Amino acid sequence: MKELSLHILDIAKNATQAGASLVEITVDEDILKNRLTISIKDNGRGMSKELLQKVKDPFTTTRTTRSVGLGIPFFEMAAELCGGKLSIDSVEGKGTNITAWFEYDHIDRQPLGDMPSTIMAAVTGSPEVDFIYRHVICGKEFLLDTREIKKVLKGVPINNVEVATWLFEYVSEGLNMLRR
């Protein structure tokens, strides 16, 4: 994977697979402190202590189609390549929080990439799950809460292509405002 937003999509998918009803994605670009922090938090089934111990091992997976799981190892490698770290907090029955931080200006840091596409894919891929997406750039914040959006949609599915396109454009414009 060549951009961090793809890792975010991958980990967010894990969160929905874990039966979460709410997934919180936070991206914090703190350029002054030279730090990029990404966290994906869910209220899914969480991991047992045993699973938590071996979850960073590529030969650990919950999928049944094959016995390799590379999502977390890829994300961890991306963080460690640029002086950062990945940590996982998980409580069985409560949920999981995966946080990775990166040195913002490290030459090996992958670009954040296309966040609007990631958010659109995550939200429309699991229409029954709610998402909160918070993106902070030097203290300025963009916030998307799908519970608010679903209130407006009143029954029209959030994965309708018109709605998906609106979501993409809404996030794009919101992030552009932050970068201005």
Least gap, CB of 133 to other proteins (angstroms)? 15
Q: Which is nearer to other proteins, 105 or 173 (CB)?
A: 173
Please, where are the H alpha helices in the chain? 4-17, 49-54, 71-80, 115-125, 146-153, 161-179
Least gap, CB of 16 to other proteins (angstroms)? 10
* Burial class of residue 105, CB neighbours in 10 A (0-12, 13-18, 19+): exposed
Residues at the contact surface with other proteins, assessed by CB under 8 A: 1, 6, 9-10, 13, 17, 63, 65-66, 69-71, 74, 114, 117-118, 120-121, 124-126, 148-149, 152-156, 159-166, 168-170, 173
Q: Which residues contact 70 (CB under 8 A, 6 or more apart)?
A: 58
Q: Which is nearer to other proteins, 35 or 56 (CB)?
A: 56
Strands 35-42 and 95-103, bridge-based pairing:
antiparallel
Q: Which is nearer to other proteins, 34 or 125 (CB)?
A: 125
Q: Which is nearer to other proteins, 31 or 177 (CB)?
A: 177
User: Is residue 23 within 8 Å of residue 84, measured between CB atoms?
Assistant: no
